[in-house]
């Protein structure tokens, strides 16, 4: 039996200098540095396994295991069963007792400041770790669902590693597969898991589009225990015969995150193929543990189908049964539903603004000018986002787009820019509505009413996270009333969302600015569009070696007329910039005689107060 000890550091860890020639022939891509501890105290423990407790926080990451070598624990000690939170806690981590959290993970949680589990974690962990049950969980966005499946997976891998031989390890495929609907969410989940596993040698890899094939292959050659993937890219590599992923049917832990979106019909064809491939190993399926997590238990949005007059309303249990059968869960899963009846958090204030379609730009600009903070605006199409980017650049709001056609690097770069500033604007399609870690969003604005109830819930869930206040404002035009009614009928029992309070005077002051910006954008867009059209026709004619039919060309004017247009647009932009610089003050103030009353009169600004406070003030008045 291995020696049983705890180690308490008496001095600081010191960096070990190693000649580079000693490392040149080995694969040490991920090695940061090696540190040594020369003065420490060994504390005896009567448990039947080795537990290494370092009181010094200096060393936050253990060196990675040598690739292709013998699997060893810290300081070469044999890998052992994980110490759990029940045997190793501190005074401020007692809330994690009896949940079976490995000591290595608990240490990481303590460093991250997670002193107590969230409700979904407290309910899921015992059933997953102790009882080995399949889990179906629904909780509000921002409730900690990722750790609710990540901690049991880490616990399982740490246990399994103790019983594996070197031959087993060489032949093993991934232990856990986590399926995510988007690249951004997959990268975010990987980040959270790696933070929780920082004191283990467990490897996590993402399999997503947009990554260089050579880099993807190199990462997979390291035989990661956990694979976080989007269905499309994963199935592509399976079909190509990637060695590690062809063993995916051996996975012992399977997670379907954001399940309601993952199973939309016609949305992820590869998902069905992946599930069939995984379930082809019937013996492994019986021992596999499966997790299904979502922000709601309304798990089957089937999308547009043939029109039928009779309304069908599936009960939640029927939807759940269908999902359980499709994934191949064993027995009866543990169902955890922590969603409120309204499906949105209590700290979220939900409101609406009724307006014409051509007024939406004005109301959006009003909200941005009147209230500071981070504002996340959702649209239903990429074309809508592109137009808003052009208009709101002219209005000096520095909009950041986020949609599926953008390269992954640019999308992540825009997310970083959005979170860096206290006042910022992100224009997003629903690709950003699913679980992305965007902290401290103050306002969510539905520029277009979402087409599904699930999208409304997920969009609104980007704000009011971690018990913070937030507001959701839906701009409803007459042609969107049908979709709006579907949402309030399901979530609010047919009760309308309260009107967001508008200061009409300020709105009227902003009308000329928005109208001018839209006029400039239309003229620029038409000119650029006509130029592109003509350029394409000329290129096609040259390639086919035919004469250009002038009647097919758009009229972009002569060179002189084009110069006049450019000069006109430049003048309009300067005028707009001047209007934007003017302070927004209420009527009744004259700057010519600010002291005529005997004291200094300060103009009252339109930008006082907060959106949440003003909206809740109106709601309280309505209740009275």
Model confidence over 379-391: pLDDT tens digits? 999 999 999 999 9
The pLDDT of residue 421 is 92
Q: Collapsing DSSP states into helix, strand and coil, what is residue 591?
A: coil
The pLDDT of residue 535 is 85
DSSP per residue, 540-577: HHHHHT----GGGS-----HHHHHHHHHHHHHHHHHHH
Beta bridge partners of 91: none
DSSP per residue, 166-182: HHHHHH---SEEEE-SS
Least confident of 120-129, 235-244, 257-266: 257-266
- Residue partners of 2: CB distance under 8 A and separation at least 6: 49, 50, 77, 78, 80
Q: Give the residue with greater pLDDT, 403 vs 294.
A: 403
Distance CA 427, CA 376 (A): 6
The answer to whether 343 and 460 are in contact (CB under 8 A) is no
Beta bridge partners of 402: 428
Q: What is the mean pLDDT of residues 482-503?
A: 92
Q: What is the mean pLDDT of residues 480-509?
A: 92
Assessment of whether the complete model's pTM goes beyond 0.75: no
> How does pLDDT run across 170-207, given as a tens digit for each residue?
667 899 999 998 888 899 899 999 999 999 999 999 99
Give the number of other CB atoms < 10 A from CB of residue 333.
Answer: 21
**Model confidence band, residue 272 (pLDDT cutoffs 50, 70, 90):** confident
The answer to whether 96 and 117 are in contact (CB under 8 A) is yes
> How does pLDDT run across 39-77, given as a tens digit for each residue?
666 654 444 443 344 444 444 444 443 333 333 333 333
Distance CA 404, CA 397 (A): 22
The pLDDT of residue 454 is 81
Average pLDDT of the chain, as a whole number: 79
Q: How far apart are the first and last CA of the chain?
A: 72
Least confident of 243-247, 258-262, 265-269: 265-269
> How does pLDDT run across 508-533, given as a tens digit for each residue?
999 999 999 999 999 999 988 888 87
Distance CA 157, CA 226 (A): 9
In which element (H, E) is residue 162 found? helix 145-163
Q: Collapsing DSSP states into helix, strand and coil, what is residue 255?
A: strand
The pLDDT of residue 343 is 62
Q: Collapsing DSSP states into helix, strand and coil, what is residue 351?
A: strand
Distance CA 485, CA 1 (A): 67
> How does pLDDT run across 411-462, given as a tens digit for each residue?
889 989 999 999 999 999 987 556 566 778 999 999 999 998 888 988 998 8
Q: What is the dihedral of CA 585, 589, 595, 600, to 10 degrees?
A: -40
Closest CA to 127 of 337, 339, 340, 336: 336
DSSP structure class, residue 609: S
And the tokens for 288?
């596999």
**Model confidence band, residue 103 (pLDDT cutoffs 50, 70, 90):** very high
Q: Give the residue with greater pLDDT, 70 vs 584.
A: 584
Cα 349–chain centre separation: 21
- Residue partners of 549: CB distance under 8 A and separation at least 6: none
Distance CA 26, CA 479 (A): 64
pLDDT at 223 over 50: yes
pLDDT at 496 over 90: yes
The pLDDT of residue 75 is 30
Q: Give the residue with greater pLDDT, 399 vs 440.
A: 399
And the tokens for 267?
């949305």
Distance CA 152, CA 99 (A): 10
Distance CA 563, CA 530 (A): 15
């Amino acid at each position: 039996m291995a020696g049983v000890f705890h180690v308490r550091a008496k001095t600081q860890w010191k960096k070990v200098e190693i000649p580079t020639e000693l490392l040149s022939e080995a694969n040490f891509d991920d090695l940061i540095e090696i540190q040594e501890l020369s003065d420490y105290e060994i504390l005896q423990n009567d448990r039947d396994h080795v537990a290494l407790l370092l009181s010094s926080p200096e060393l936050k990451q253990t060196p990675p295991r040598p690739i292709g070598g013998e699997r060893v624990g810290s300081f070469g000690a044999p890998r052992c069963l994980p110490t759990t939170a029940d045997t190793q806690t501190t005074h401020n981590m007692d809330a994690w007792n009896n949940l079976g959290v490995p000591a290595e993970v608990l240490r990481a949680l303590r460093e991250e400041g997670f002193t107590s589990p969230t409700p979904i974690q407290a309910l899921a962990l015992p059933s997953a770790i102790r009882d080995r049950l399949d889990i179906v969980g629904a909780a509000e966005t921002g409730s900690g669902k990722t750790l609710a499946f990540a901690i049991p997976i880490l616990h399982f891998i740490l246990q399994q590693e103790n019983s594996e031989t070197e031959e087993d390890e060489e032949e093993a495929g991934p232990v856990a597969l986590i399926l995510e609907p988007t690249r951004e969410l997959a990268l975010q989940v990987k980040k959270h898991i790696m933070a929780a596993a920082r004191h283990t040698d467990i490897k996590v890899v993402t399999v997503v589009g947009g990554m260089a094939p050579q880099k993807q292959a190199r990462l997979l050659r390291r035989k990661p225990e956990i694979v976080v993937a989007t269905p499309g890219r994963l199935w592509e590599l399976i079909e190509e015969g990637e060695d590690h992923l062809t063993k995916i049917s051996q996975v012992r832990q399977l997670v379907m995150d954001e399940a309601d979106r993952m199973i939309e019909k016609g949305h992820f064809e590869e998902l069905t193929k992946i599930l069939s491939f995984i379930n082809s190993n019937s013996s492994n399926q019986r021992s596999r543990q499966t997790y299904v997590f979502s922000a709601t238990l309304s798990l089957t949005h089937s999308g547009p189908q043939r029109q039928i007059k009779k309304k069908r309303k599936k009960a939640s249990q029927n939807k759940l049964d269908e999902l359980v059968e499709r994934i191949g869960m064993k027995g009866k899963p543990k169902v955890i539903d922590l969603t409120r009846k309204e499906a949105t958090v209590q700290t979220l204030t939900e409101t609406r603004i009724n307006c014409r379609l051509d007024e939406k730009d004005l109301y959006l600009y009003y909200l941005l000018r009147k209230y500071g903070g981070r504002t996340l605006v959702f649209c239903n199409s990429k074309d809508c986002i592109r137009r808003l980017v052009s208009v709101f650049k002219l209005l000096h709001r520095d909009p950041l787009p986020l949609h599926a056609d953008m390269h992954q690097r640019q999308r992540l770069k825009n997310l970083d820019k959005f979170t860096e500033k206290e006042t910022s604007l992100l224009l997003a399609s629903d690709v950003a509505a699913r679980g992305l870690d965007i902290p401290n969003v103050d306002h969510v604005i539905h520029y277009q009413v979402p087409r599904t109830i699930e999208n409304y819930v997920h969009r609104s869930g980007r704000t009011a996270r971690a018990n913070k206040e937030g507001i959701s404002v839906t701009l409803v035009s007459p042609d969107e009333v049908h979709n709006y009614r579907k949402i309030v009928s399901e979530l609010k029992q047919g009760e309308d969302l309260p009107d967001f309070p508008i200061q009409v005077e300020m709105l009227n002051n902003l009308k000329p600015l928005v109208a001018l910006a839209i006029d400039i954008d239309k003229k620029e867009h038409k000119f650029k569009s006509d130029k592109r059209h003509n350029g394409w026709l000329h290129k096609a004619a040259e390639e086919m070696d035919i004469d250009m039919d002038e009647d097919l060309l758009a009229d972009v004017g002569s060179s002189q007329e084009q110069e006049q247009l450019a000069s006109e647009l430049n003048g309009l932009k300067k005028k707009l910039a001047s209007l934007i610089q003017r302070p927004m003050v209420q009527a009744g103030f004259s700057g010519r005689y600010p002291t005529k009353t005997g004291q200094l009169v300060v103009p009252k600004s339109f930008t006082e107060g907060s959106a949440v406070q003003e909206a809740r003030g109106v709601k309280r008045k309505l209740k009275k």
